[in-house]
Amino acid sequence: MAKLIDVAKLAGVSASTVSRVAAGSEKISKETTQRVLEAMKELNYHPNAIAKSLANKMTTKIIGLLFPADSSAVLHNQFFIDVLVGISNCAQEYGYYIMNAYEKEDNNYSAIQKMNKSGWVDGIILTTVRENDENLRYVRTRGIAHSIIGTPHIKSSALWVDNDNKEVMYRLTQKMIKKGYKRIAFISGSMEYIYNENRLAGYRKALRESKIRYDKKVIKETDGTFEGGSRAMKGLNEGMSIDCVITTDDVIAFGAIHSMKKMGKLYPITGFNNTPMCEYSSPKLTSVDICAEQLGYNACMMLIDKLEKNNKKNVKLHKVDTVIVERESTK
Amino acid sequence: MAKLIDVAKLAGVSASTVSRVAAGSEKISKETTQRVLEAMKELNYHPNAIAKSLANKMTTKIIGLLFPADSSAVLHNQFFIDVLVGISNCAQEYGYYIMNAYEKEDNNYSAIQKMNKSGWVDGIILTTVRENDENLRYVRTRGIAHSIIGTPHIKSSALWVDNDNKEVMYRLTQKMIKKGYKRIAFISGSMEYIYNENRLAGYRKALRESKIRYDKKVIKETDGTFEGGSRAMKGLNEGMSIDCVITTDDVIAFGAIHSMKKMGKLYPITGFNNTPMCEYSSPKLTSVDICAEQLGYNACMMLIDKLEKNNKKNVKLHKVDTVIVERESTK
DNA sequence: AAGAGCAATGCAAGCGGTTGCACTAGACGA
DNA sequence: TCGTCTAGTGCAACCGCTTGCATTGCTCTT
């Protein structure tokens, strides 16, 4: 690999001159510049980025992206895919690279440690936060630049983006009520996740507003899987009088539909996340588009902004809109 | 940020000693080691990886992954997701990081140039090769370490992995013939892709072997989409006498099923790629699992092997097995 | 004609580590 | 008692590039 000094020798100048030409300085005469450029071409010179960054105390322009589970689990989840798409787009736009890291269950927050200690990343995006999140604490206590997808429990000065889960579920429920439904079942994923809690809250708010009694019997908490949805629906079908179903996840909804078809009774139903399958299923599923791509994009942009402006004028775009996409399943 | 010299001062030793402790040299006495370690802890010292790599002429342990389209297109394609999972797993296992890059249509092979010139990547994985692939030429002529997912047209000494598309489609067609079907329609994606060509070849081989006439009328080439599959099926239904359908992609199959349902006639049908939807669709779709994860894993491992052993004993695992997964749609 | 001003370039000290070799002091054998 | 050996440590050069400041040779003033 040819280096700076080789080019300098060939062009008959000093290393500094070559460096300046490479940097595009106007202090160098046209003739010299020309000669240096030719030497570069002849030797097929490519600057060594590592040496460059060291000399510049430069940053790597690499952003670390920490996922909350192993690669298989994460990448088979449409939400994270969309987030990744958004982040990738933003990064590409601003000339950054993305380096993925996946957290394994066993060794808690070692992925983030490795990523940080390796020294390659300028900042880190966290894609999930739990209560008392170790990763979040890690980056906070070390002053590592970061942004978060999700709502941190302690807001402080962190950069984060999220949907308004309560609000959209409120609107969705309201919509179903307006259509004339009164016994609206609610099948959720685990309530350990704050977003499911919020969604339930939105549902309750809509009921309250329309003076419909909140009935625990038609509220089912599941593990968020197809089978979970299927089972929950079976439970609801047994003796419960309902006229419509709201779920917190498309997959749950598909499970429920599966169950309903078997029972021969198809209630109107809604999903959540607006996965591609909504289009292919029968009936096509009404769902909520949480614009995960936008979440990713914003999180990335906020971080880049922070890295480059060094905190001067932080972009803060906390809330990302949601869109209710109506399809056959509620018509 | 505390640096080596700070630790050295605090511990009352020279920089070399600290460096040696950090590297885990046994030449340093236990007491000194202890003192240095304490100083490190006290100053919260983290070695600067950039300086380290420069001094070591070390590699970055970052592998570039080049996708053939923009992030959205790639990440919404199950195949690439699975590939990415496999690669990620392998990389994590061997302590490497993955940096994604996406090719845009407009600026041909600039993504790979940037990635390479940036100097951050030790090697590159190409996820698709076309005839006369510019990216492939780029890495070859520059001697950049690389491995390929897919079959390069000029084999040479390249590292690559692929499925045997012809063989599996041969087996699948054979299977349908054994079930007693004789008028087997074939709906493919674009024949520009060598794998579709190979799949058709496998189909024809099976027909030939069973002395079934190859009839061009029941062969439909589509753009590989749901609509394409749907349209092709409609075409087949009009006046054609068929008793079974083989497709080269799950999505095509879903489109075809959609069409069949409308027409009220459900032929046995097979997909390809074994996407998750196969499980959720009705009927559940028989498909071919091409083990994309394994493809990714192997490609990554081959590359790492090359990087580390520096070509001494190349692992070459060209062929990756496929599995025919039978479900309701062919029962 | 001599000093001032300026454009173009070189010198050399870093950036934060690593490492071959030199050095020191204590242990040991003769 | 004195040389030899060795374990433990420091010195200083180096990795490839950047950059403040010094230097050089002009042109321009007065």
Q: Is the pLDDT of residue B290 over 60?
A: yes
**Other CB atoms within 10 Å distance of the CB of residue A323:** 11
What value does the mean pLDDT take over residues B254-281?
Answer: 91
Nearest residue to D18 (CA, C1')?
A: A55
Nearest residue to C6 (CA, C1')?
A: A27
Chain-centre distance of CA B199, in angstroms?
Answer: 18
Q: Is the pLDDT of residue A41 over 50?
A: yes
Is the shortest CB-to-strand distance from B58 to strand C under 7 Å?
no
Is the shortest CB-to-strand distance from B22 to strand C under 7 Å?
yes
Q: Residue B105 — pLDDT band, cuts 50, 70, 90?
A: low
Contact of A85 with chain B, judged by CB distance below 8 Å, is answered with yes
Q: Is the pLDDT of residue A203 over 90?
A: yes
Distance C12 C1' – A17 CA (angstroms): 14
Task: Please report the pLDDT score of residue B205 as a whole number.
Answer: 97
- The amino acid occupying position A201 is A
Q: Which of A41-50, A287-296, A308-317 has the lowest mean pLDDT?
A: A308-317
Q: Is the pLDDT of residue B314 over 60?
A: no
Q: Which of A139-143, A163-167, B208-212 has the lowest mean pLDDT?
A: A139-143
Task: Please report the pLDDT score of residue A107 as a whole number.
Answer: 60
Chain A residues touching residue B60 (CB < 8 angstroms): 50, 120
Q: Residue A72 — pLDDT band, cuts 50, 70, 90?
A: confident
Q: Is the pLDDT of residue A306 over 90?
A: no
Percent of chain B with pLDDT over 90: 53
**Per-residue tokens: B252:** 């095509």
CB contact under 8 A, B50 and A47: no
What are the tens digits of pLDDT across the range A150-178?
888 777 667 889 999 999 999 999 999 99
Distances (CA, A) of A157 to A141, A153, A306, A317: 13, 12, 12, 13
Q: Which of B51, B62, B102 lies at the smallest CB-CB distance from A88?
A: B102
Residues 99-128 (B) with a CB less than 8 A from some CB of A: 99-102, 115-120
Q: Which stretches of chain A are DSSP H helices? A: 4-11, 15-23, 30-43, 49-56, 71-75, 78-93, 110-118, 134-142, 165-178, 194-209, 226-237, 250-263, 277-280, 292-309
Mean predicted lDDT score pLDDT of chain A: 88
Q: Which of B49, B88, B280 lies at the smallest CB-CB distance from A119?
A: B49
What are the tens digits of pLDDT across the range A123-134?
899 998 777 788
Q: Is the pLDDT of residue A311 over 60?
A: no
Residues 231-260 (A) with a CB less than 8 A from some CB of B: 254
Predicted TM-score (pTM) of the model is 0.79
What value does the mean pLDDT take over residues A94-101?
Answer: 88
Task: Please report the pLDDT score of residue B311 as a whole number.
Answer: 46
What are the tens digits of pLDDT across the range A248-263?
999 999 999 999 999 9
- B146-157: string of b/e by CB count within 10 Å (b at 16+)? bbbbbbbeeeee
Chain B residues touching residue A52 (CB < 8 angstroms): 119
Distance D23 C1' – A52 CA (angstroms): 27
Residues lining strand D, beta carbon within 7 angstroms: A 1, 3-5, 15-16, 19-20, 22-23, 47-48, 51-52, 54-56; B 12-17, 20, 26-29, 31-32, 51, 54-55, 57
Residues 204-233 (A) with a CB less than 8 A from some CB of B: 226
Under DSSP, the state recorded for A289 is: E
Contact of A283 with chain B, judged by CB distance below 8 Å, is answered with no
Mean predicted lDDT score pLDDT of chain B: 88
- B158-193: string of b/e by CB count within 10 Å (b at 16+)? bbbbbbbbbbbbbebbbbbbeeebebbbbbbbeeeb
Task: Please report the pLDDT score of residue A44 as a whole number.
Answer: 86
Distance D11 C1' – B18 CA (angstroms): 14
Residue of chain B minimizing CA distance to A58: B50
| Closest by CA position to A147, among listed A129, A126, A162 | A126
**DSSP 3-state of A136:** helix
Nucleotide with C1' nearest the B8 CA = D10
What are the tens digits of pLDDT across the range B41-79?
999 888 888 888 889 887 788 899 999 888 888 898 888
Which bases on strand D have an atom closer than 7 Å to a protein beta carbon? 7-12, 14-20
CB A194 within 8 A of CB A229: no
Pick the more confident residue, B20 or B112: B20
| Closest by CA position to B287, among listed B328, B242, B244 | B328
**DSSP 3-state of A100:** strand
CB A231 within 8 A of CB A203: no
Contact of B71 with chain A, judged by CB distance below 8 Å, is answered with yes
Residue of chain B minimizing CA distance to A81: B75
Q: Residue A316 — pLDDT band, cuts 50, 70, 90?
A: low
Q: Residue A140 — pLDDT band, cuts 50, 70, 90?
A: confident
Q: Facing residues of A219 across strands?
A: A186
CB contact under 8 A, A72 and B60: no
What value does the mean pLDDT take over residues B277-286?
Answer: 88
**Per-residue tokens: B317:** 């695992």
CB A220 within 8 A of CB A254: no
**DSSP 3-state of B273:** coil
Residues 302-321 (A) with a CB less than 8 A from some CB of B: none
CA distance B88 to chain A (A): 7
Q: Residue B154 contacts by C-beta under 8 Å, 6 or more apart in sequence?
A: none
Q: Residue A57 — pLDDT band, cuts 50, 70, 90?
A: confident
Q: Which of A49, A92, A100 lies at the smallest CB-CB distance from B120?
A: A49
d(CA B249, CA B190): 11
Q: Is the pLDDT of residue B138 over 50?
A: yes
Q: Which of A56-70, A277-291, B99-113, B278-292 has the lowest mean pLDDT?
A: B99-113
Residue of chain B minimizing CA distance to A116: B46
Contact of B281 with chain A, judged by CB distance below 8 Å, is answered with yes
Q: Residue B108 — pLDDT band, cuts 50, 70, 90?
A: low
What value does the mean pLDDT take over residues B250-260?
Answer: 94
Q: What is the CA radius of gyration of chain B?
A: 26
CA distance A225 to chain B (A): 12
**Per-residue tokens: A210:** 């329309």
Is B194 exposed, middle or buried, given 0-12, 13-18 or 19+ CB atoms closer than 10 A?
middle
Q: Is the pLDDT of residue B110 over 80?
A: no
What are the tens digits of pLDDT across the range A9-40?
999 999 999 999 988 888 888 999 999 999 99
Nearest residue to C15 (CA, C1')?
A: A55
**Per-residue tokens: B314:** 């190349």
What value does the mean pLDDT take over residues B257-276?
Answer: 93
Contact of B84 with chain A, judged by CB distance below 8 Å, is answered with yes
Q: Which of B54, B75, B98 lies at the smallest CB-CB distance from A54?
A: B54
Q: Where are the beta strands (DSSP E) in B1-132?
A: 62-67, 97-102, 123-126
Q: Which of A57-66, A106-115, A264-273 has the highest mean pLDDT?
A: A264-273
d(CA B49, CA B78): 35
d(CA B194, CA B265): 32
Distance D15 C1' – B149 CA (angstroms): 35
Q: Is the pLDDT of residue A118 over 50?
A: yes
